[in-house]
């Protein structure tokens, strides 16, 4: 079944580009030029995914997010300009699934769309107990992490952090979200906790911790576990293909 | 009651300092008003007969006159100095704007021209363009647009910085992550180049604006890719120097151009005339580094050919309070 993408974007040329790109890859498109229009369309047409520009003429993207999230769990990907870093993070903390920074390429957009749709289509409860990426295998049932055949010893916090990333594989997690899940709500003002432990994880799990292949840092935003090395730039997969290798 | 401690001369000094303080921090009218009021207060509280504006000793009239003249002079002088400083700022902004305009028209015209030409060729129904050539033209449009995006990004950054818009958001960062972020942003330019990253063990955290320092590293490493032959190595070294964090980017290229290394950091200066870019990268680096209270220098390597850019940033002093780690036992359960 073809997925429907709701594009909420006020600039006509941008809308045209998104429409052409998205329909060219087999999706159906709904378009809205204002935030209000977008919310209405979302309510009446139940799209499978929303592409939302943070800079809208009537109500801002964050407000649209807040209102959509009041009643909908539909994946939302926000598009923002480089200067709007704070807004990006706020949007993610409000429940947006992913983001794109202008100028972005077609491949990046398609990859994010696919990943977000895949995640939302996964049925709860059918989550696999093991997860593999690269030469790493994480077995959630036995709480073991194996790298290239050898066991890796992780501290409890490191393990909790890894599992969080694994459960949200392919999706960006903000510092705040990670702090909340791993350290609890009392520590959400200490992003450096996350940084220190991500550095430790990279040292234990990555070939080159300074240039990680899977434990990716999204500067100013948070972290993302890449499900495949080319996850960000996969041009060949079609919308319905599943690229993960859960076993 | 203060009489034994305060001589008349002291009071006049206090008066002068008071007027000067108001003149420097405020404007002309308030400082003149201060002068007038101070003279009146002096008369009222200190000059016999006390608590009246009358004056027994006529000499004091001369004192008041001199105080008034001096007060007026100081006020005027301070106002004039401030006005001139403001003018200088405006002249500098104007000069910047002109330099930007001439640079923009010169360097951005080429990619725009190429894009227009390619697009028009593709739209020309009368032209015989093979599928292969079509692809090439489209790829050219994409590449030139990329270049434009990079140039514009630098220009925007510089305009924001020059407009005094640099607001540091310092947090505790892992140096390896900042370096990694910069390298990730330059992946296409780093293809085929060995990059060595060396972080001093024990330098866990540095207190800096991570996004801005990443921009500094991006600019330094990008310069290294532009000014050194392809395939030559680039080293990024991070260490601690006292309470400062030291980020260094070293290359194995031809080294710095002749002339003062400091001049490289001026706006719109490029390594060599034909080089790509607007010449703002190093100026942006300096602005960011100085906003942190740090220093950036360029010099030749002393262990071989090539250039060495050194960024010293305060912020590696006291480490933050420990991170709660829970127990350190491993997760393996038997």
Structure confidence by residue, pLDDT tens digits, B303-318: 889 999 999 999 877 7
Interchain contact A217–B (C-beta under 8 A): yes
| Interchain CB distance below 8 Å, B331 and A144 | yes
What is the CA angle A187-A218-B246, rounded to 5?
85
Report which DSSP code applies to B2: -
- β strands within chain B, DSSP E: 171-173, 195-199, 206-208, 234-241, 244-251, 295-300, 307-314
- Taking CB atoms within 8 Å and a gap of at least 24, the contacts of B142-150 are B144/B111, B144/B112, B144/B114, B144/B115, B144/B118, B145/A103, B145/B111, B145/B115, B147/B111, B147/B276, B148/B108, B148/B111, B148/B112, B148/B115, B149/A103, B150/B277
Task: Report pLDDT digits (tens) over B55-83.
Answer: 777 787 888 888 888 888 888 888 888 88
Which residue out of B139, B145, B174 would a mutagenesis test of the A interface target, given it has the greatest number of A Cβ atoms within 10 Å? B174
Terminal C-alpha separation, chain A: 25
Interchain pair A183, B331: CB under 8 A: no
Crossing angle for the helix pair A156-167 and A191-205, nearest 10 degrees? 90
- CB nearest to B174's CB, from A154, A199, A220: A199
Nearest to A196 among B180, B197, B204 (CB): B204
Residues of chain B with pLDDT under 50: 326-334
Dump pLDDT digits (tens) for A20-47. Answer: 999 999 999 999 999 999 999 999 999 9
Q: Is A204 on the interface with B (CB under 8 A)?
A: no
| Interface residue A219 vs chain B (CB under 8 A) | yes
* Interface residue A125 vs chain B (CB under 8 A): no
| In contact, B210 and B236? CB cutoff 8 Å | no
Whole-model pTM: value is 0.72
Q: B143: nearest CA in chain A?
A: A105
Contacts of B322 in chain A (CB under 8 A): none
CA A30 to chain centroid:
22
Measure the CA–CA gap between A237 and A49, rounded to whole angstroms: 18
Helix (H) or strand (E) holding A201, with range, is helix A191-205
> In angstroms, rounded to a whole number, what is the distance separating the alpha carbons of residues B249 and A83?
26
Q: What DSSP character marks residue B52?
A: S
Q: Is B319 exposed, middle or buried (0-12, 13-18, 19+ CB in 10 A)?
A: middle
**pLDDT for res A242:** 39
* Mutate which: A17, A104, A143, A196, vs B, most B CBs within 10 A: A196
**B43 neighbors B67 (Cβ within 8 angstroms):** no
Query: Which region among A87-91, A158-162, B43-47 has the lowest average model confidence (pLDDT)?
Result: B43-47
**DSSP 8-state assignment for residue A125:** T
pLDDT digits (tens, 9 = 90+) for A203-229: 999 999 999 999 999 988 999 998 764
Nearest to B331 among A143, A187, A202 (CB): A143
């Amino acid at each position: 079944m073809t997925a429907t993408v709701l594009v909420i974007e006020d600039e006509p040329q941008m809308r045209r580009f998104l429409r052409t790109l998205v329909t060219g890859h087999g999706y159906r498109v709904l378009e809205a030029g204002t935030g209000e229009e977008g919310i209405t369309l979302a309510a009446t047409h139940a799209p499978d995914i929303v592409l939302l520009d943070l800079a809208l003429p009537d109500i801002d993207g964050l407000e649209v997010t807040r209102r959509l999230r009041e009643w909908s769990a539909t994946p939302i990907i926000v598009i923002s300009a480089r200067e709007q870093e704070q807004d990006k993070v706020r949007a993610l903390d409000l429940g947006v699934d992913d983001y794109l920074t202008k100028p972005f390429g077609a491949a990046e957009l398609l990859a994010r769309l696919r990943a977000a749709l895949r995640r939302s289509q996964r049925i709860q409860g059918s989550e696999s107990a093991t997860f593999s990426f690269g030469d790493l295998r994480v077995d959630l049932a036995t709480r073991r992490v194996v790298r290239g055949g050898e066991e890796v010893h992780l501290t409890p916090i490191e393990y909790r952090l890894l599992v969080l990333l694994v459960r949200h594989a392919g999706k960006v997690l903000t510092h705040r979200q990670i702090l909340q899940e791993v350290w609890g709500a009392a520590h959400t003002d200490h992003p450096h906790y996350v940084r220190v432990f991500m550095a430790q994880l990279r040292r234990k799990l990555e070939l080159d911790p300074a240039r990680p292949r899977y434990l990716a840092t999204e500067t100013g935003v948070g972290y993302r576990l890449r499900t495949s090395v080319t996850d960000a730039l996969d041009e060949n997969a079609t919308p319905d293909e599943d690229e993960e290798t859960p076993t | 009651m203060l009489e034994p401690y305060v001589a008349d001369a002291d009071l006049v000094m206090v008066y002068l300092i008071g007027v000067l303080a108001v003149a420097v921090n405020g404007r002309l009218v308030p400082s003149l008003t201060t002068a007038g009021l101070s003279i009146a207060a002096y008369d009222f509280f200190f000059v016999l007969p006390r608590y009246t504006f009358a004056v027994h000793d006529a000499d004091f009239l001369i004192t008041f006159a001199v105080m008034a003249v001096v007060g007026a002079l100081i006020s005027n002088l301070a106002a004039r100095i401030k006005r001139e400083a403001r003018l200088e700022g405006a002249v500098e902004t104007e000069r910047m704007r002109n330099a930007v305009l001439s640079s923009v028209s010169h360097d951005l015209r080429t990619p725009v021209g190429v894009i227009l030409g390619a697009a028009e060729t593709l739209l020309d129904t009368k032209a015989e363009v093979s599928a292969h050539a079509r692809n090439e033209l489209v790829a050219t449009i994409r590449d030139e647009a990329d270049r434009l995006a990079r140039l514009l990004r630098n220009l925007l950054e510089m305009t924001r910085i020059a407009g005094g818009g640099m607001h540091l958001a310092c947090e505790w960062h892992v140096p390896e992550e900042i370096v990694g972020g910069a390298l990730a942003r330059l992946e296409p330019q780093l293809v085929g180049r060995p990059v060595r990253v060396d972080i001093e063990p024990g330098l866990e955290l540095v207190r800096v604006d991570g996004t801005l320092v990443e921009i500094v590293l991006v600019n330094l490493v990008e310069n290294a890719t532009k000014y050194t032959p392809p395939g030559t190595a680039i080293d990024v070294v991070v260490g601690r120097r006292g309470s400062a964090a030291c980020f260094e980017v070293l290359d194995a290229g031809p080294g710095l151009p002749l002339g003062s290394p400091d001049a490289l950091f001026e706006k719109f200066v490029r390594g060599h005339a034909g080089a790509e870019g607007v010449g703002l990268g190093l100026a942006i680096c300096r602005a960011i580094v100085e906003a942190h209270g740090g220093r950036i220098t360029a010099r030749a390597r002393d262990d071989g050919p090539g250039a060495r850019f050194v960024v010293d940033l305060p912020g590696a002093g006291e480490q933050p309070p420990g991170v709660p780690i829970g127990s350190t036992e491993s997760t393996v359960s038997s």
